[in-house]
Structure 1
Amino acid sequence: MTSFSSGHGKEVLPDLYYYTNQIVNVVMIGKPDGEWVLVDCGLPGSGDELIEVAEKRFGKNRPPAAILLTHGHFDHVGSIVALLEKWDVPVYAHELEFPYLTNKQAYPEPDSTVEGGLLAKMAGIYPHEPIDITASLKPLPADGTVPELPAWRWIHAPGHSPGQVVFFREEDKTLLSADAFITVRQDSFYKVLIQKKDVNGPPRYFTTDWKAAKETVQKLRELQPALVISGHGQAMKGAPLRLGLKNLADNFDEVAVPDHGKFV
């Protein structure tokens, strides 16, 4: 699985950079000459690649102040163990994700029967087992603040996973939407490959609670984000984002919820 954007990074704001690791985005918050925070950790086997990207932007021996996890699916935590071997830093996540991050519980097996394209049909081979980062793991503060990032807040965004969170900066309406909604049709291999921009619901094969997913999208639409970096796809802003998110929120059952699948 890959895309034409794989291996490329983009600075969308002076303190906001994202790097596409095959089909998933890793976000680095902070200016190159200051402290920084990493959001999500890409696919398995990508630790050295992500360390190289971080060192190119921030310099050697400049680890992040913290790692933030939007949720614990394999494509968002795949290289975290390797990164923690290099960087001794705290990892923050929602407490509802802790069972999957402390080796206590596996996610439900991805749904390869769900309506969708080739990547949905392949979902049966995607890892869903827990990992164990107990020694580094800390809960996100209950008051919605984000450690090391005073201008940001976290928002619970369940549906795709029980403890998924997004990160929002009010001053410039920047949203890291994780997999609550994404900017590519993730079950279509062709659209993932060419990274066609399009506001979509969460990846179908891993989303287990469609009612909660719909409520999450409607809640995030109310934030009126001006810039979005999602877990999959390219950054979006302006009218295409605004209209796409409105259409998704208003017509979620028709455009996001699959016609069939074991979680529908």
Structure 2
Amino acid sequence: MLTIHTYPLGPIQTNCYIVNDDEGNCLIFDPGDEAERIIRHIDEKELNPVAILLTHAHFDHIGAVDGVRDQFSIPVYIHEEEREWLLNPELNGSAKYAGLPNIQNREADFNLRQEGKMTIGSFEFEVRHTPGHSPGSVSYIFEASGFAVVGDTLFKQSVGRTDLQGGNTTVLLSSIHDKLLTLDDETIIYPGHGPATTVEDEKDANPFLNGF
């Protein structure tokens, strides 16, 4: 059985998710800021991190990557379309906002190139490429546990913005329709910001998805 913990972090309150199994192994999704808080939670819960998985590389999702990676000596995974974004403040957007530090991480340890089933330690899940908000956005589907971590692709009664680097509204809506709304209606959607929702609720009530 998997347990998921949600931590809104940083000035934009980006959701970092920590998913652990019954043995205390855990995956860390989108450590966007406040590395010390993430590390403290993991230490207090006596968890054993095995990897950092990124839904995409906008600055608010990657700000604590190196701090957490170095603390636990674990690999980082990102889609190959955004492998350079981790290193480049112009691409990840941190250079565009006054008052925010430029985010420059080291390269990811693994670049995701294909969709499909993936196993890391005891964790089995599916990677789906869901571009539109950004070209390398991916969603991580835990079908057996009934949830998906989708980054900024889909929100409760909203969708990701497409006015940033590489954004495309048509591509985004296609990703949502083809890759997320095809999941079981009961699937819990964990977005990059705000509360969780379900596939069924978004089909019924999301005003951006009328016609799907």
**TM-score, with normalisation over the residues of structure 1?**
0.67
TM alignment of 1:82-121, pairs within 5 A? 82-103=67-88, 106-107=90-91
Q: How does 1:28-43 map to 2 (within 5 A)?
A: 28-31=18-21, 33-43=23-33
Deviation at 1:176, TM superposition (A): 1.1
- Report the equivalent of 1:54: 42
Q: Deviations over 1:83-141 (max 9, x none)?
A: 122121111111101111244x732759xxxxxxxxxxxx743869662322x521236
Deviation at 1:203, TM superposition (A): 3.3
The amino acid across from 2:209 in the alignment is A
* 2:208 counterpart residue number: 248
Corresponding residue for residue 230 of structure 1: 191
Q: Aligned pair in 2 of structure 1 residues 225, 107: CA closer, same or farther (>3 Å)?
A: farther
Query: 1:251, CA displacement in angstroms?
Result: 5.3
Give 5+ residue unaligned stretches, structure 2: none
1:20 is displaced (CA, Å) by 1.7
Q: CA deviation at 1:238?
A: 7.5
Secondary structure of the corresponding residue to residue 107 of structure 1? helix
Q: Which residue of 2 aligns with 1:173?
A: 146
1:202 aligns with 160
Match of 2:8 in 1: 20
- C-alpha RMSD of matched pairs (Å): 2.9
Q: 1:233 to 1:157 in 2, by over 3 A?
A: same
Give 1:73 deviation, angstroms.
0.7
Q: Distance in 2 between matches of 1:223 and 1:78?
A: 30
In 2, Cα distance between the equivalents of 1:145 and 1:128?
A: 36
Give the residue type in structure 2 aligned to 1:51.
I
More strand by share: 2
Secondary structure of 2:18's aligned partner: strand
Task: Give SS of 2:25's match.
Answer: coil
Range that drifts further, 174-183 or 229-238: 229-238
| TM superposition outliers: structure 1 runs of 4+ over 6 Å | none
CA 1:107–1:67 in 2, change beyond 3 Å: closer, same or farther?
same
Identity between Structure 1 and Structure 2 (%): 22
In 2, Cα distance between equivalents of 1:28 and 1:53: 9
132 and 54 in structure 1: CA distance in 2 versus 1, 3 angstrom threshold: same
Q: How many residues align?
A: 205
SS in 1 for 2:126: strand
Measure, in 1, the Cα distance between the counterparts of 2:23 and 2:2. 11
Give the match's secondary structure for 1:99.
coil
Match of 1:192 in 2: none
Partner Cα separation in structure 1 for residue 105 and residue 56 of structure 2: 14
Q: Report 1:124-163 matches (<5 A).
A: 124-125=97-98, 131-134=104-107, 136-140=108-112, 142-148=114-120, 150-163=123-136
Query: 1:165 touches 1:178 (CA, 8 Å); kept in 2?
Result: yes
Q: Secondary structure at the match of 2:24?
A: coil
Q: Report Cα offsets for 1:127-186 as digits up to 9, x if no partner.
A: 69662322x521236252334165310100111111110111223431112100123xxx
